[in-house]
Structure formats: structure tokens, C-alpha cells
Amino acid sequence: MKLKGGIYWGAGCGGCDVAVLDLHEKILDVAEKMDLLFWPIALDFKYDDVRAMEDAEFDIVLYNGAIRNSENEEMAKLLRRKSKTMVALGACAHIGGLPSLANYHTKQSVLERVYLETESNENPDGTMPLERSTVDGNELELPRFYNTVKTLDQVVDVDYYIPGCPPVPEQIFSALSAVFIGELPPKGSVIGAGTKTLCDECPHEKEEKEISIIKRPLEMIPEPGKCLLEQGLICLGPVTREGCGARCINSGVPCRGCYGPLDDVYDQGVKMVSALASVLEPKEEKEIDKVLDGIVDPLRTFHRFSTAASILRRKKV
């Protein structure tokens, strides 16, 4: 018997769906084991097809993207009801991802920026999206835009997590293979990625050097083969789960933290503050402040992918 699967996107960029397509010929192995009954980005199935299914009819659903509007939430709840196993695929579903950076703003300020202030926009009448409107006598309804972006597990029960922005395709394949052979770890586990930090799989050499200056990637060309953090670039490798193959690091770009924290870490960004504090060279407050001034936007640097899952969650309004 073939398994029944579904893939859905909430508030995301589509990159996680492309990562599934990046399985290349391995997608044929997946198709041999599983019928994809729902995948809006690639196949023409309708929401009503899902509504008509039995509860728990899907063996597995991969949900990528965060929850940022009422449609994302409605579909997350529907797919949860229709699936035996629900997997959060990618950083947005797992820890909020880049969309949850919007939690540092209000819903109103996001809409004003996008529809009224953006330099490339022409909107002389100041038209803004409405939840309900009438056009040529027809009632139109748009999903409700939420003030706070949430992770998938802040809305429904999630069985497993595949981290990354996007997850590397090999990791998606190994997670699906575990489903096919019925060898899944305990509920709530991260699957397809390791249990150590990125520093453990990073090929760059650490010299246990303390940091006396912090720079942005555009301000320097890092010395090849040497730890980027020790050269003064903020690299979230010490607080980020391994599994990506250090792809950014190998291109000279510091880790931004998209694979999220390890199991025993509650807040990845706060953990990075503590990791950084332990490797700063200056010990006097004034000197420390001078070094830290090199971090242009600490909040969004340390919680770039994890704002929705952090203890901050959102800006207080």
C-alpha cells in the first residue's frame, strides 16, 4: 500500500517547496512509496478535495511557512485533522523564520509600509486591502492579516520538525525515508538534522581567539579556512543545529541560525548573546560597549529566524 502525503505552504517564500523539487531523480523514489494528494504549488488540487477526505487520511503532511493570516491557520487546522503525522518543514514553520521579523512591527505599520510608503508603489488613492469588499456587486473576502506571526506548533500539534531555510534536500529525503520504513524518533523530535552545533561540522579552524572587533560581512574579506566569529563576523554557528553541511560558511558567509537551536536551548538568540559574551576580549564596560557597537541590529541579528519562537515573541504594543 502506498502512503498518502500532502505538502502545503503558509506564510513562506516557496523555497521549501523548491527544496522538495530539488530531490531531483529521488522524487521518483518518493513517488514510488507515496501518492501526493495535495501540493498547491505544484499540483492542481483544491481545498475542497482536502475537506472531503476522511480524518487522518493523510499519512504525512509537510507544512512549510509560518502562520501569519487566517487562511494559514484554517489550513493548518484542517490538515492537522486530516493527517496522522504533521511535520513542520523549514524555519518558518519550525521557529517563525524570516516572516516573524514582522513581529517587531505592528500589522498597521506593515500594511502602511507595503501599500503607502514603498518607494516603488504608485497608490495615489491610498488603497489598502480590506477583509471584505464589493466589486461589481460581488462580495469579496480576503484572509485576515494577523498582528503576530506564529510558528506552526503555536497553532496546531506538530509531530516532527525539519529545520532550515530551506532544509537541504538530502535532509528532506532522509526524513521521508524514515517515514517510509516506519523508523521515526519520538514525537516532537527534529528529524533529518544532527544533535550538535554547526561549529561541530564546520570545516573552519578555531584558534580559541577572543574578539576585539565586530564587523559586517560587507566590511571585510575573511581569511579562508579560519573561524569567521574569531575574525569578528557574527556567526550563529555556536548556537545553531548542525545538518546543513555548513553551506553558508563554505561560501564565506557567517551562519544566520536558520537550523534553529539545539533541543535543550529555549532561546537561540539569548544563547548567542551568552556565547558572544564569553569570547569578547575587553573586560571593561566601556570597551565592551565599543566592540558591541559593531552589531548594527542586535535584535534581528540574534533572532533573525527565531523571533516567533523566542521569549520576546513580538514587540509590545
CB of 161 to ligand SF4, least distance (A): 12
**Which residue number has the CB closest to ligand SF4?**
237
Residues 34-63 that bind ligand SF4 (CB under 6 A): none
Site mask, ligand SF4, residues 10-29, x = CB under 6 A? --xx-xx-------------
- Cβ(198)–Cβ(240) below 8 Å: yes
Pairing of strands 58-64, 3-9: parallel
Residues 201-220 that bind ligand SF4 (CB under 6 A): 202, 204, 206
198 lies in the binding site for ligand SF4 (CB under 6 A):
yes
Output the CA–CA distances (angstroms, integers) from residue 187 to 7, 85, 159, 160, 191, in the order listed.
19, 9, 5, 6, 10
166 lies in the binding site for ligand SF4 (CB under 6 A):
yes
Q: To the nearest 10°, report the CA torsion of 179, 11, 104, 160.
A: -10
Residues 101-160 that bind ligand SF4 (CB under 6 A): none
37's grid cell: 494528494
CA torsion sign for 277, 296, 252, 306 is positive
257 lies in the binding site for ligand SF4 (CB under 6 A):
no
Which range in 71-79, 80-88, 134-142, 226-234 contacts ligand SF4 by CB under 6 A?
Answer: 226-234
* Whole-number Å distance between alpha carbons of 36 and 26: 14
* Whole-number Å distance between alpha carbons of 115 and 127: 7
Whichever of 6 and 65 has its CB closer to ligand SF4, that residue is 65
Whichever of 5 and 164 has its CB closer to ligand SF4, that residue is 164
Pairing of strands 145-150, 67-69: antiparallel
238 lies in the binding site for ligand SF4 (CB under 6 A):
yes
Whichever of 61 and 92 has its CB closer to ligand SF4, that residue is 92
Amino acid, res. 25: E
* Whole-number Å distance between alpha carbons of 61 and 58: 7
How many residues contact ligand SF4, by CB under 6 A? Answer: 26
Q: Contact residues for ligand SF4 (CB under 6 A)?
A: 12-13, 15-16, 64-65, 90-92, 97-98, 165-166, 198-199, 202, 204, 206, 227-229, 235, 237-238, 249, 255
